[in-house]
Amino acid sequence: MLSVLVWLPIVAAVLVGFWPGLAAERARQTCLVVATALFGWSLWLVARFDPAQGGLQFAESIAWAAELGLYYRLGVDGVSLPLVVLNALLTWIALYSSPSGVKRPRLYFALMLLVNAGLTGGFVAQNLILFVLFYELGLIPLYLLIAIWGDSERRNYAAMKFLVYTAVSGVCILGAFLGIALAAGTSAALDYNASLTTALPLQAQLILLSLLLVGFGIKIPLFPLHTWLPDAYTEASPPVAILLGGVLAKLGTYGLLRFGLGLFPETWHLVAPGLASLGALTAAMGALAALAQKDIKRMVAYSSIGHMGYVLLAMAAATHLSLLGAVLQMVSHGLILAVLFHLVGVIESKVGTRDLDVLNGLMNPVRGLPLVSILLLVAGMASAGIPGLVGFIAEFLILQGSFPVFPVQTLLCVVCSGLTAVYFVILLSRTCFGRLDNATAYYPAVGWSERTPALILTVLILVFGLRPGWLTIWSEKTTGEMAASVNTPGPVARVASKIPQVRSIPLNPLSTLP
């Protein structure tokens, strides 16, 4: 079942890449068919998924290289299932919004499918080495996609930076995983076995967890490991940016949740306060830097950093509600960021600029881009957390879930959410509102092929905003079990309790709340 999701795009990528004499349009259509099939398949998985069960479902296991500890072991639970579906959906959106006139189309479409395979593999892999393999599989195609099909002269720089950073991230993660096997003394530890990792000495757990934090922190990205992101997102073409921001960043948060919190539930308490502060700092830094941008794509890129900060805070708090909120935020952020990048791409292709100081009056119903403006408004407001849209409920669950544990950091995140509103209002006021310059306003019409992806995503943002229960139901059980595993005091937690003042933050009277 899950193998189809992983192997179908790989096979299709090979076919599209090497089938002799395949025309560009045909390649695009093939890929779209494949993406539709993948999305349909992932929906079928959803239909078959049992939300009352917290553990892995649809598990598959084959011994691949057992002596290396490498098993081909797949499975999904409530945390990975929404991300698998999100990945399939956004791949479809990205392929649909890629014109068949891109240069070197067959390579392009093949690489897009490979990225999809790598990401899906990452979400479903239950063996540590297998995860790293998939993690790396997504890396090279994305590097090429930025370097070859990027927007401007800086694309090589951006792509290289992305590659170097992510390679370091991969090495850190691999190192941590190998360290787990080493410390546990058995390659069985590579098969996602929390009972082995929790038995390690506290010191070893801390070192391994820190290594994972750096590794996944680059991918998420966390302050100060984030500087690859604005360049990569801005230079990537919109469809690639959708995959980068919509799905790839989630591989980082997902990995941290699965392998950081999942394998080291008791040590988690030790790093949690720092992690929560780092999350709040990341949120603040993303929001403040976004405020200073003049390029709307770069602004959206920084906003993405800010929103990942909330996820980090939620994971640090590790209550049931906050973890559920984290999963919800991953999905909602994927949807919102995808629609934002898509719309920014449409504006750039029609108006010819992304400069805030040049753009003006696009809401004009006759010669502007009214529908694009309205959709941009909805997306911006969803990102700023206006109720009724999916961004709000995700952030709210995070904030409410984290408040009892980390009140100061949570309140800081609330302030950041206000700053998010500030820069989106600036963006909307400058681009959509204002007077359209009649001398230059001869924009090409926006076609349905450009509207459709944005409309689909906007409808999803609205529907899930009004009925968040349709999203939470899948992850409720799994996140509950995760929260329980963190909050059950084990042998290490008892040691940790002897270290004075690990969790208390005597900064604010609110921290005395029950």
Partner 1 sequence: MAMVETLVQSVWWIPGYSLIGAVSALPWFPGLIRRTGPRPSGYVNLLMTLFAFVHALVLLVSTWGQPPVRLSLTWLATAGLDLTVPLEVSSLSLGAVVVICGLNLFAQVYAIGYLEMDWGWARLFALLGLFEAGICALVLCDSLFFSYCLLEILTLGTYLLVGFWFNQPLVVSGARDAFLTKRVGDLFLLMGVLAILPLAGTWNFSELAVWSTTAKVDPTVAFLLGLALIAGPVGKCAQFPLHLWLDEAMEGPLPSTILRNSVVVATGAWVLIKLQPVLALSPLTGSVLIAIGAVSALGGVLVALAQVDIKRALSYLVTAYMGIIFIAVGSGQTEAAFLLLLTHAVSSALLVMSTGSVVFTCITQDLSQLGGLWGRRPVAGLSYLIGAAGLVALPPFGSFWAYLKLIDGLWGTAPGLIALLLVVNALAAYGLGRVFALVWLGKPGQMSERAPEPFWLISLPTALLAGFSLHLPLVLQFSGLLPVWDDFHLEAAVLLTVSCLSGLLGVRLRWVELPWKTVQTLLANDFYTAAAYRQTVILGVDLVSRLVNHIDRHVIDGLVNLVGHLSLFSGEGLKYSTTGRTQFYTLTILVGVVVMGLLVSLSYISNLPILAVD
Query: What three-state secondary structure class fits 80?
Result: helix
- What type of residue is 409? Q
**H/E element, 71:** strand 70-76
Give the Å distances, CA to CA, from 50 to 56, 61, 63, 87, 296.
10, 20, 26, 20, 42
Candidates 32, 408, 422, 462: give the one binding partner 1 (CB under 8 A). 422
CB of 175 to partner 1, least distance (A): 8
Candidates 15, 157, 193, 408: give the one binding partner 1 (CB under 8 A). 157
Verify binding: residue 459, partner 1, rule CB under 8 A.
no
Burial of residue 328 (CB within 10 Å: 0-12, 13-18, 19+) is: buried
Candidates 14, 33, 43, 292: give the one binding partner 1 (CB under 8 A). 292
CA distance 95 to 104: 15
Candidates 47, 52, 439, 513: give the one binding partner 1 (CB under 8 A). 513
Residues in contact with partner 1, total (CB under 8 A)? 93
CB of 48 to partner 1, least distance (A): 22
The set of residues, in sequence order, having a beta carbon less than 8 Å from that of 301 and lying 6+ positions away, is 229, 230, 233, 234, 241, 245
CB of 332 to partner 1, least distance (A): 14
CB 91 within 8 Å of CB 35: yes
Candidates 68, 484, 499, 507: give the one binding partner 1 (CB under 8 A). 68
Q: Which stretch binds partner 1 (CB under 8 A): 56-64, 270-278, 291-299, 488-496?
A: 291-299
Verify binding: residue 418, partner 1, rule CB under 8 A.
yes
CB of 342 to partner 1, least distance (A): 18
Verify binding: residue 507, partner 1, rule CB under 8 A.
no
CB 313 within 8 Å of CB 402: yes
Shorter beta-carbon distance to partner 1: residue 254 or 403: 403
CB of 29 to partner 1, least distance (A): 28
| Alpha helices, DSSP H, located in 49-154 | 80-96, 105-124, 128-137, 139-149
CB of 243 to partner 1, least distance (A): 18
CB of 274 to partner 1, least distance (A): 19
Binders in 345-384 for partner 1, by CB under 8 A = 361, 363-366, 370-371, 374, 381
Joined together, the tokens standing for residue 312 give 């980090």
Verify binding: residue 491, partner 1, rule CB under 8 A.
no
Residues 102-141: x where in contact with partner 1 by CB under 8 A, - otherwise, as a string: ---------------------------x--x---x--xx-
CB 250 within 8 Å of CB 382: no
Binders in 191-250 for partner 1, by CB under 8 A = 224, 227
The widest CA-to-CA distance across the chain, in whole angstroms, is 72
Instruction: Compute the residue count for the chain.
Output: 514
Candidates 67, 447, 448, 501: give the one binding partner 1 (CB under 8 A). 67
Shorter beta-carbon distance to partner 1: residue 55 or 418: 418
CB 265 within 8 Å of CB 400: no
The set of residues, in sequence order, having a beta carbon less than 8 Å from that of 158 and lying 6+ positions away, is 146, 150, 228, 231, 232, 234, 235, 236
Candidates 83, 130, 174, 301: give the one binding partner 1 (CB under 8 A). 174
CB of 30 to partner 1, least distance (A): 25
The neighbouring-strand residues paired with 72 are 62
CB of 252 to partner 1, least distance (A): 18
CB of 188 to partner 1, least distance (A): 10
Shorter beta-carbon distance to partner 1: residue 30 or 332: 332
Binders in 294-333 for partner 1, by CB under 8 A = 320-321, 324
Distance of CA 63 to the CA centre of its chain: 30
Verify binding: residue 80, partner 1, rule CB under 8 A.
no
CB 78 within 8 Å of CB 479: yes
Q: Which stretch binds partner 1 (CB under 8 A): 91-99, 164-172, 253-261, 346-354?
A: 164-172
CA distance 269 to 479: 17
Verify binding: residue 432, partner 1, rule CB under 8 A.
yes
The set of residues, in sequence order, having a beta carbon less than 8 Å from that of 73 and lying 6+ positions away, is 59, 60, 61, 62, 125, 126, 127, 130, 191, 192
The set of residues, in sequence order, having a beta carbon less than 8 Å from that of 391 and lying 6+ positions away, is 332, 333, 336, 382, 383, 384, 385, 461, 465
Q: Which stretch binds partner 1 (CB under 8 A): 78-86, 202-210, 402-410, 499-507?
A: 402-410
Shorter beta-carbon distance to partner 1: residue 222 or 496: 222
Candidates 106, 161, 297, 333: give the one binding partner 1 (CB under 8 A). 161
Candidates 3, 156, 193, 198: give the one binding partner 1 (CB under 8 A). 156
Candidates 56, 83, 144, 214: give the one binding partner 1 (CB under 8 A). 144
CA distance 15 to 19: 5
Tell how strand 70-76 and strand 57-65 pair up: antiparallel
CB of 446 to partner 1, least distance (A): 10
